[in-house]
Amino acid sequence: MIATWQAPLESGKDSEELLLSFDEGRDRRILILPALFDEANKMRRFTVQLMRRLNSAEVDCFLPDLPGCNDSLSPLSEQTLASWRSAVDAAAKQFGVTHFLSVRAGALIAPASLPGWHYAPQTGAKLLRGMMRAKIIAEREAGRDTSSDQMLTVGRSQGIELNGWFIGSAMLNQLETAEPVVGERITSVEQKALGGAGLWLRAEPDQDNAQSDALASIVLETLVTQS
């Protein structure tokens, strides 16, 4: 269930990363693309609970850590959306997946060639805005004044640390304009389809099995329709 995988880096080398998976060699295999940065922590339990539901419905699923995230030995500051997209493409090939499911800003790095689902997709600009806003609040609390414009000016050339996340300049530039990947076979599932409020809103990471079950049901319904 917990293994590792080889993620390609921009340098041309590979980075060994952790992989959480339910792999029994079944026909339907879904690559799970996690929420990014702070939301990754908030959505982790929801995401793994969703995978457990899919597994019990005879669907294989794979949640690879991306370089720079969680226990990765590669620095986050060196990662970009483009390098993560390459890693995702490599993961899709290595695991032989048939579909993907992205959570929140995971939609920014989804493979356009595969059918799949974006759960509550978020644009890069909105993700960045939330992170910069948190930094502004924390800085003001510490008696220092700053603004989004100031942060963007610095970040575009030197990269910037936002609430403990080291965003390199290339990552920042890409996030500013990144949109959820579009494709004919990609379905967007909005939060209202799950009932209740999105768990990324919670001040503390939380779980809601009813929401994980609801998303699993939506995914499974589509899979049944397709087969």
Partner 1 sequence: MNTDQASDCTPTGDKSGETPAEKDSGLPMNRAALDEELKSILADVLGIDPEQADELTSDSGLFGHLPELDSMAVAGLLTEMEDRLDIVIEDDDVDGEMLETYGGLLTFAESKLAEA
Residue 29 belongs to what H/E stretch? strand 29-33
**By C-beta, is 5 or 42 nearer to partner 1?**
42
**By C-beta, is 13 or 185 nearer to partner 1?**
185
**By C-beta, is 50 or 131 nearer to partner 1?**
131
- Residue 92 CB burial class (10 angstroms; 0-12, 13-18, ≥19): buried
User: What distance in Å separates the CA atoms of residue 77 and residue 79, rounded to the nearest whole number?
Assistant: 6
Q: How many DSSP H helices and E strands does the chain contain?
A: 6, 9
- Residue 147 CB burial class (10 angstroms; 0-12, 13-18, ≥19): exposed
Residue 162 belongs to what H/E stretch? strand 160-162
Site string (109-128) toward partner 1, x via CB under 8 A: ------x-x--------x--
Which structure tokens are listed for 114?
């595969």
Site for partner 1 in 135-164 (CB under 8 A): 135-138, 140-141, 147-148, 163
Site for partner 1 in 17-76 (CB under 8 A): 38
Among 94, 129, 156, 169, binds partner 1 (CB under 8 A): 129
190 is an interface residue for partner 1 by CB under 8 A? yes
Sites of contact with partner 1 (CB under 8 A)? 38, 115, 117, 126, 129-131, 133-138, 140-141, 147-148, 163, 184-185, 187-198, 200-204, 206, 210, 214, 218, 222, 225-226
